[in-house]
Chain A
Amino acid sequence: MNNAQMQITAVPLKRKNRRLSTIPGMHWLLFIIPALYMLLLTFIPIIKIMKLGVHDGVNYTFEYLVQVFNTPVYLKVIINTFKISFIATLAALLLGYPVAYLLYKMQSDKWRNITMSLIMIPFWISVLIRTFTWMVMLQNEGVINKVLMGLGLIDQPLQLLYTSTGNIVGMVHYLFPYMVLCIYSVMKGIDSRLLQAAEGMGARPWKAFRDVVFPLSMPGVIAGVLICFVFSLGFFITGVLLGGPKDKMISNLIANFINVTLNWHLAAALSIILLGATILLIAVPFLIFRKHPSLKGVI
């Protein structure tokens, strides 16, 4: 017994010494390599570009930020981006919530998986392709106009493509799966016996939903709204292809400064605004709701 034990420990020790992994501190490479990789390829480039927005090559200056806020055209793009993002997020919430709620109420695993796949298939398909499909759908002779005219709701085809509506439709299509996943992941944790208890004690389904599930699903709604809003602020593709001339987003303006007018400083100043809004939107609610008991495990 003793002998056998000795053998087991003795053999590996001999082998171990030859291995690279016995060099002390070797396992820290697991942490150091990815950290350096991201530091070098994300953190430093972003800091350097931010610096261009507040540094004119000689001194630190607020000139570019002031210029962005003092030029009506740029200011309009910023306000418009926030406005469109807000509408798109709200629409995604209104469409995503019922879907998440049905997923929660579904009894059969098979149907839940099928519904989930139907939600996730568009999620996997490139945003460019989805935007193109909406270009076809929304055009004057497109499916939407044909259906509306067929139903007799309109006489003239509606101008949908190259308008804010088109842009928002494209954005909502992108945001929808994220919204459903955020809300559903929180709803999944709500004990379904609560709903049964409420209904058993005489609450109608609507009242049971309003008084039990809805308040408990709020953390998911907040997370979904924030994530979708932050994604919307950075949208690039849909504004150009589906939106009109007025639907330029901050991202498009940044790209325009870099590729067309070659004004790196203004592009950087706009990036500061965009990134600043993003960080505020993520950090502030995080700090407020961090201690909230229902968020345990979500963040």
Chain B
Amino acid sequence: MGLRLLVIFILFVFLLPIILIIPLSFTSVAYFQIPPPGYSLVWYEKVLQDPVWIQVFSRSLFIGAITAIVSLVVGTMAAVAFTRLNFWGKNIFLPLMLSPMVVPTVVVAIGLYHFFSPFKLADTYTGMVLSNSVIAIPIVFTLVIASLKGVDRNLELAAMGLGSTPIGAFFKITVPLMKTGLFSGALFAFSLVFDEPIISLFMSGANTKTLPIKYWESLRTSIDPSIAVVSTVLIIMTVALFLIQGWIGSNAAKRNVRQE
């Protein structure tokens, strides 16, 4: 019983700050007081009328989506190669694909910043997508490997035996079977890139300022309840994505059970 209380307390302390931000965004004053002295929608109005917040938000959505697609393609290729092929250097392939997870992000960021400067890729959308995909690919790679392990290889072999090409068999048999894994990989990659601050801090400039950069700048210079509004929107978005992902996952699990 003592253990249960302790765990409830720990989880409560870790969730409390996130929950408390939501009422703060409806405050009527310009400072952070809990509970707020009055409630209003002024700060929502202010954020929605600020062209910069809207611009960085849509820009982050765009960069996040493109990066998620790129990472999904590259990560899935790597996962298929890793689970289905035997090749020389497979032992090196794994650490190579996973290295951005372990290497401190700042090191990756300055490495890319330095590497991209002769190509004039800093402060371009291409540069943002390429550099952010580097940290998203390992996530997609691990998630897709996990879901590929659940797919019976024999089904694919059967399709090929019945005359499908390897590529056809992959898209017609394997992809539908592991689409939950692909979906959660893409979703994870998107949410990672959507609010990734460190790489963007080096790579973005006036033309490619993203939401996390604007957020970071506001935190450092002018904190007001607009930040709480943006946080609330992002928290709700994140929790929604989390629920969608969990719902799709549990649906897929149910379907598998029924089929068996």
A-side interface residues toward B, CB under 8 Å? Answer: 8-9, 11-13, 15-16, 19-22, 27-31, 33-35, 37-39, 41-46, 48-49, 52, 95, 98-99, 101-102, 105, 115, 117-122, 124-137, 139, 141-143, 146, 173, 176, 230, 233-234, 236-237, 240-241, 251, 254-255, 258, 264, 267-268, 271, 274-275, 278, 282
B241 neighbours in A (Cβ, 8 Å):
124
Q: How far is the CA of A141 from the CA of B34 in the complex (A)?
A: 9
Which single member of A21, A45, A240, A282 contacts B102 (CB below 8 Å)? A282
Q: Report whether A98 and B105 are in contact in the complex, using a CB–CB cutoff of 8 Å.
A: no
Q: How far is the CA of A129 from the CA of B133 in the complex (A)?
A: 22
Tally chain B residues at the interface, Cβ within 8 Å.
80
Q: Report whether A251 and B104 are in contact in the complex, using a CB–CB cutoff of 8 Å.
A: yes
> How close is B180's CB to chain A, nearest CB, in angstroms?
16
**Minimal Cβ-Cβ distance residue in A for B246:** A117
B162 CB within 8 Å of chain A: yes
Q: Give the secondary structure class of B's interface.
A: helix
B197 neighbours in A (Cβ, 8 Å):
126-128, 236-237
Q: Report whether A258 and B113 are in contact in the complex, using a CB–CB cutoff of 8 Å.
A: yes
Which single member of A21, A126, A134, A274 contacts B166 (CB below 8 Å)? A21
B238 neighbours in A (Cβ, 8 Å):
121, 124-126
> How close is B193's CB to chain A, nearest CB, in angstroms?
11
Give the total number of A-B pairs whose CB atoms are below 8 A apart. 242
Q: How far is the CA of A240 from the CA of B194 in the complex (A)?
A: 21
> In residues 1-47 of chain B, which contact A (Cβ within 8 Å)?
3-4, 6-7, 10-11, 14-18, 20-21, 24, 32-34
B110 CB within 8 Å of chain A: yes
Decide yes or no: A28 and B87 within 8 Å by CB, A38-B96, A49-B110, A122-B18 being known contacts: yes
B99 neighbours in A (Cβ, 8 Å):
38, 42-43
Which single member of B7, B14, B165, B216 contacts A122 (CB below 8 Å)? B14
Q: Report whether A118 and B114 are in contact in the complex, using a CB–CB cutoff of 8 Å.
A: no
Q: Report whether B77 and A30 are in contact in the complex, using a CB–CB cutoff of 8 Å.
A: yes
A119 neighbours in B (Cβ, 8 Å):
11
A37 neighbours in B (Cβ, 8 Å):
74, 137
> How close is B236's CB to chain A, nearest CB, in angstroms?
10
Q: Report whether B112 and A41 are in contact in the complex, using a CB–CB cutoff of 8 Å.
A: yes
> How close is A136's CB to chain B, nearest CB, in angstroms?
5
Q: Report whether A141 and B108 are in contact in the complex, using a CB–CB cutoff of 8 Å.
A: no
> How close is A209's CB to chain B, nearest CB, in angstroms?
10
